[in-house]
Structure 1
Amino acid sequence: MAHIHFVECNTAHTGSFAIDVPAGQHWLLVITKTPAQFWVNGGLKEYPSHSVVLYRPQQKVYYRSCTGHFVNDWIRFESDEAYITESPLPFGIPFALSDPQYCQKLIELLVVERSFNLDCKESSTDHLLRTLFNKLWESYFQDKITPQHYNLLKLRTAIQSNPGDYWTVSRMADFLRISPGYLQNIYKKTFGISCMDDVINSRIRMAKEYLIHNAQSIAEVASRCGYQNVEHFCRQFKQITGRTPGNFQKYAKN
Structure 2
Amino acid sequence: MARIHFVECNTTHPSNFVIDVPVGHHWLLVVTKTPAQFWVNGDLKEYPKHSVVLYRPKQKVYYRACADQFVNDWIRFESNEPYITESPLPFGIPFSLDDPDYCRKLFELLTIEHSFNRDYRASSIDCLLRTLFNKLLESYFHERITPQYYNLLKLRTAIQNDPGDTWTVSKMADDLGISPGYLQSIYKKTFGVSCMEDVINSRIRLAKEYLIHSTQSVAEVAFRCGYQNVEHFCRQFKQMTGYTPRKFQEQTKG
Q: TM-score range by the shorter chain?
A: over 0.9
The TM-score, its normalising length taken from structure 1, stands at 0.99
Does residue 221 (structure 1) correspond to residue 251 (structure 2)? The answer is no
Separation in structure 2 between the aligned mates of residue 40 and residue 9 of structure 1, nearest angstrom: 24
- Give the structure 2 partner of residue 163 of structure 1: 163
- Give the structure 2 partner of residue 100 of structure 1: 100
Shift of 1:119: 1.0
Note the residue ranges of structure 1 that are not aligned, 5 or more in a row.
Answer: none
What secondary structure does 2:164 align onto?
coil
1:178-199, Cα deviation, whole Å (9 max, x unpaired) = 1101000000000000000000
- Give the structure 2 partner of residue 109 of structure 1: 109
- Give the structure 2 partner of residue 211 of structure 1: 211
What secondary structure does 1:193 align onto?
coil
- Give the structure 2 partner of residue 191 of structure 1: 191
Note the residue ranges of structure 2 that are not aligned, 5 or more in a row.
Answer: none
- Give the structure 1 partner of residue 131 of structure 2: 131
Amino acid at match of 1:101: D
What secondary structure does 2:118 align onto?
coil
Shift of 1:138: 0.4
- Give the structure 1 partner of residue 55 of structure 2: 55
- Give the structure 1 partner of residue 25 of structure 2: 25
What secondary structure does 1:135 align onto?
helix
Separation in structure 2 between the aligned mates of residue 92 and residue 193 of structure 1, nearest angstrom: 35
- Give the structure 2 partner of residue 79 of structure 1: 79
Amino acid at match of 1:121: R
Amino acid at match of 2:14: T
Does residue 248 (structure 1) correspond to residue 253 (structure 2)? The answer is no
Q: Structure 1 vs Structure 2: percent identity of aligned residues?
A: 77
Count of aligned pairs between the two proteins: 254
What secondary structure does 1:92 align onto?
coil
What secondary structure does 2:148 align onto?
helix
Shift of 1:115: 1.2
Amino acid at match of 1:183: L
Moved over 4 A (4+): none
1:12-64, Cα deviation, whole Å (9 max, x unpaired) = 00010010000000000000000000000001000000000000001000000
What secondary structure does 2:64 align onto?
strand
Give the RMSD, CA atoms, in angstroms: 0.4
The TM-score, its normalising length taken from structure 2, stands at 0.99
What secondary structure does 2:166 align onto?
coil
Separation in structure 1 between the aligned mates of residue 13 and residue 162 of structure 2, nearest angstrom: 35
Shift of 1:175: 1.4
Separation in structure 1 between the aligned mates of residue 231 and residue 89 of structure 2, nearest angstrom: 51
Separation in structure 2 between the aligned mates of residue 238 and residue 198 of structure 1, nearest angstrom: 17
- Give the structure 2 partner of residue 231 of structure 1: 231
